[in-house]
């Protein structure tokens, strides 16, 4: 919130003038570490799941995309400066969509839609420039380039992130999936059969061919493995997250992975696969964060640019979230850990996107975790001391800890935050003074 100084400067005592001057300087410094938001709650007649903000038409105003209870993609156009949203309009019911991302995949200046439905399908819907209309979804599936531990495998896409992995200036897609399989042993009258269920992390880098169409190389193992004997409990507790960024500053896009499970067999570490610069990753050179049980991973550019998608390779800070804290790691060009900073007592849900909400030139972050959501502002990325987040704004974002997004929704040049919660669209408009 904008801080004002209402003290009057009385003539006379030099001491009083000094006190005033110190108070004024403190006020100016505090302004750079704060942000204020105006909440506009928009009701819906359906649960608002995964959301995205994008520029689908000419102008500087972002519109809302979300997925409803029926797994259809809906749009609500922004009315700009009036800080309101128009009614919902169905974009696509062609498939059962589960999650949605907004990114310009064909470099035409208009954002497009990328979606998954938690099975082995990825959908790309290209914007037409005709505001409400998108081309029919192009569907991509993935094969396995490496075999599973068990047999009868199934593929479920968990997460996506975007970046230029082969240096051709086009947005590629890092795809992370869980591949489930099983083995059954023992039979006959001596004992009942024993079935072991396996979940493994697999990834692929879908390379952009230049027009928003993609090649889909066979999926390779990330090295994450978990197993159990109770099929229902086990398979419900394994999920993965992926983040794209240049974490060692070699101008090649890397990919960070984490998988979360409550299986006692193995709790995987979060780790980074270095990029080779040609659209592939170096499995043998993987770098472990040293932390297990990660909830989410992301890449942050502390000094910007503050775009939701890091398309160009620029050295990034590796940020990951565990159950109660977050960590920021910085690596040198040889993958030596330069620093690790604990952000204490952060929400456990998804982290990101990052932006600069208070125009101080430093990255701020959104933590999406239902009623525990918050925006972190004024974090000093050069300070490597473990500490709590002091400057934060509480928000309500994320149905089932789904997504939120950041863009300029009212056209005032400031980043706003929008997320769904149950049957509401919560739009937090940035009121921070310039």
* Segment 54-63, tens digit of pLDDT: 999 988 999 9
Angle, vertex CA 47, rays to CA 43 and CA 49, nearest 5:
110
Q: What is the pLDDT of residues 274-315, one digit of tens each?
A: 999 999 999 999 999 998 878 899 999 999 988 767 666 789
Q: What is the pLDDT of residues 14-43, one digit of tens each?
A: 333 343 333 333 233 333 468 999 999 998
Collapsed DSSP state (helix, strand, coil) of residue 23: helix
* pLDDT at residue 427, as a whole number: 97
Please state, for a pLDDT cut of 90, what percent of the chain lies above it: 65
Residues 6 or more apart whose CB falls under 8 angstroms from that of 191 comprise: none
Rounded CA-CA distance 95/137 in Å is: 9
> CA nearest 299: which of 322, 283, 319?
319
Q: What is the pLDDT of residues 238-265, one digit of tens each?
A: 678 999 999 999 999 999 998 876 554 5
* pLDDT at residue 186, as a whole number: 67
* pLDDT at residue 267, as a whole number: 60
> CA nearest 315: which of 249, 382, 258, 410?
249
Residues 6 or more apart whose CB falls under 8 angstroms from that of 324 comprise: 345, 346, 348
Q: What tokens does 273 get?
A: 């696969």
What does the pLDDT average to over 220-224? 88
Q: What is the pLDDT of residues 124-161, one digit of tens each?
A: 999 998 878 999 999 999 999 999 988 877 899 999 99
C-alpha dist (Å) from residue 349 to 100, 120, 402: 17, 24, 9
**pLDDT tier at 226, thresholds 50, 70, 90:** confident
Contact call for residues 251 and 164 (beta carbons, < 8 A): no
What does the pLDDT average to over 345-366? 91
Gyration radius from the chain CA atoms: 23
């Amino acid at each position: 919130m904008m801080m004002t100084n209402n003290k009057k400067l009385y003539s006379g005592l030099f001491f009083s003038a000094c006190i005033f001057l110190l108070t004024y300087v403190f006020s100016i410094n505090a302004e750079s570490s704060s942000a204020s938001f105006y909440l506009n709650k928009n009701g819906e007649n359906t649960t608002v799941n995964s959301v995205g903000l994008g520029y689908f038409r000419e102008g500087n105003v972002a519109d809302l995309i979300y997925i409803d209870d029926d797994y259809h993609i809906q749009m609500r156009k922004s009315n700009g400066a009036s800080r309101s949203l128009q009614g919902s309009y169905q974009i696509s019911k062609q498939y059962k969509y589960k999650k949605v991302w907004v990114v310009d995949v064909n470099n035409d200046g208009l954002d497009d839609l990328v979606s998954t439905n938690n099975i082995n399908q990825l959908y790309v819907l290209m914007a037409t420039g005709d505001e409400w209309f998108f081309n029919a979804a192009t569907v991509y599936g993935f094969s396995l380039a490496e075999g599973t531990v068990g047999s009868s495998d199934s593929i479920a896409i968990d997460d996506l992130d975007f970046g230029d992995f082969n240096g051709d200036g086009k947005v590629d897609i890092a795809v992370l999936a869980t591949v489930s399989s099983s083995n059954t042993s023992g039979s006959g009258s001596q004992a009942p059969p024993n079935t072991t269920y396996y979940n493994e992390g697999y990834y692929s880098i879908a390379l952009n061919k230049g027009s928003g169409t993609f090649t889909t190389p066979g999926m390779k193992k990330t090295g994450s493995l978990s197993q159990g004997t109770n099929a229902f409990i086990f398979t419900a507790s394994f999920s993965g997250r992926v983040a794209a960024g240049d974490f060692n500053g070699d101008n090649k896009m890397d990919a960070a992975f984490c998988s979360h499970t409550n299986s006692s067999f193995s709790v995987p570490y979060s780790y980074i696969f270095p990029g080779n610069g040609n659209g592939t990753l170096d499995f043998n050179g993987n770098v472990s964060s040293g932390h297990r049980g990660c909830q989410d991973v992301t890449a942050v550019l502390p000094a910007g640019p503050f775009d939701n998608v890091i398309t160009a390779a620029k050295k990034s800070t590796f940020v990951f979230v565990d159950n109660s804290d977050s960590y920021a790691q910085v690596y040198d060009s040889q993958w030596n850990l330069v620093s690790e900073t604990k952000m204490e007592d952060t929400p456990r849900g998804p982290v990101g996107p990052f932006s600069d909400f208070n125009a101080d030139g430093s990255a701020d972050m959104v933590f999406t975790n239902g009623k525990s959501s918050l925006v972190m502002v004024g974090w000093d990325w050069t300070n490597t001391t473990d500490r709590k987040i002091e400057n934060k704004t509480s928000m309500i974002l994320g149905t089932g800890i789904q997504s939120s997004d950041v863009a300029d929704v009212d056209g005032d040049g400031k980043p706003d935050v929008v997320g769904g919660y149950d049957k509401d669209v919560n739009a937090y408009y940035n009121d921070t003074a310039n």
